[in-house]
Amino acid sequence: MSDPTATAGSDRRPARPINVRDIQARKGGTPLVCLTAYTAPMAHLLDAHAEVLLVGDSLGMAVYGMDTTLDVSVDMMINHGRAVAKAAERALVVVDLPFGSYQESPEQAFRTAARVLAETGASAVKLEGGQDMAETIRFLIARGIPVMGHVGLTPQAVNQLGGFRIQGRDDAAAERIRADATAVARAGAFALVVEGVVEPLAREITRAVKIPTIGIGASADCDGQVLVSEDMLGLFGEQTPRFVKHYARLDQAIDTAVRQYAEEVRDRTFPEATHVTRPRQG
């Protein structure tokens, strides 16, 4: 059977955009490719290759230089989400709900999520939490808002977790994460990010839940993988998590290009004649 979301023709345009049902249908199939995107140019470049573009609150660190995601605002998420959704033609665009914008009550979560979807044009939201968020997830889904869950290492709970540490190492922690994943799946989330948990636990969760799992620092047996694009492209130097693989070293390419530009400006070899406009003759 042909994939109605596959790119078609030489211009690589999709037959139609990917939706949450398409993501759900990939459970146990070809792994889902997910990447973060915070800007329209990056979204345009990633769109043909990824099924999901996540406008993550990781933009706090990747774009704004913050130490954690905790200071990211709803307005930030909306501004970046709008840019990504406008540029994406194929991928499903998911926007993180930032810290403090949904934990108070299901009603608060609905107000935030409804605003995010209305003002960005994205297709779904993502929120962190397990058993404690199950009621909120049900509430949102009952009101027409698709939700991607997120368990394991949840960056918005970094202070409670004692830092960015691998989760599920002991039996009690593993059982809590299993229960979280089950609760999120039963609440109706269409997919589940499993972050920073020991590999056997991530594999077990993937086999246990009926929705696609998207791993980050988890297991190759997850139903998909996600990375921060800036990490994967080598834009943060050597200080990246262990689970990141550098598929390029764009930091070095940028440094080389900017060095050459600076030298040419200083020795007046740029701009050349082809880069300036001269008066017309006559």
Based on the residue annotation, tell me whether 230 is a catalytic residue of this protein: no
Query: What is the spatial distance between Cα 66 and Cα 209, in angstroms, rounded to a whole number?
Result: 34
Question: 85 with 93: CB under 8 angstroms?
Answer: yes
Measuring CA to CA, how many Å separate 205 from each of 132, 168, 183? 18, 12, 12
221 appears as a binding residue in the annotation = no
Query: What is the spatial distance between Cα 22 and Cα 56, in angstroms, rounded to a whole number?
Result: 21
128 appears as a binding residue in the annotation = yes
Query: What is the spatial distance between Cα 121 and Cα 124, in angstroms, rounded to a whole number?
Result: 9
Tell which residue, 162, 157, 163, 136, has the closest CA to residue 147: 136
For the record, the structure tokens of 19 come out as 């939706």
Burial of 153 (0-12, 13-18, 19+ CB in 10 A): buried
Tell which residue, 113, 170, 178, has the closest CA to residue 152: 178
Can you say whether residue 238 is alpha, beta or left, with left for phi > 0 and alpha for psi between -120 and 50 degrees? alpha
57 appears as a binding residue in the annotation = yes
58 appears as a binding residue in the annotation = yes
Measuring CA to CA, how many Å separate 223 from each of 100, 138, 155? 29, 23, 21
List 51, 195, 204, 230, catalytic entry? 195
Question: 192 with 225: CB under 8 angstroms?
Answer: no
For the record, the structure tokens of 48 come out as 């043909």
Annotation: binding site for Mg(2+): 57, 96, 128
Annotation: binding site: 57-58, 96, 126, 128
Annotation: binding site for 3-methyl-2-oxobutanoate: 57-58, 96, 126
Q: Which residues are catalytic?
A: 195
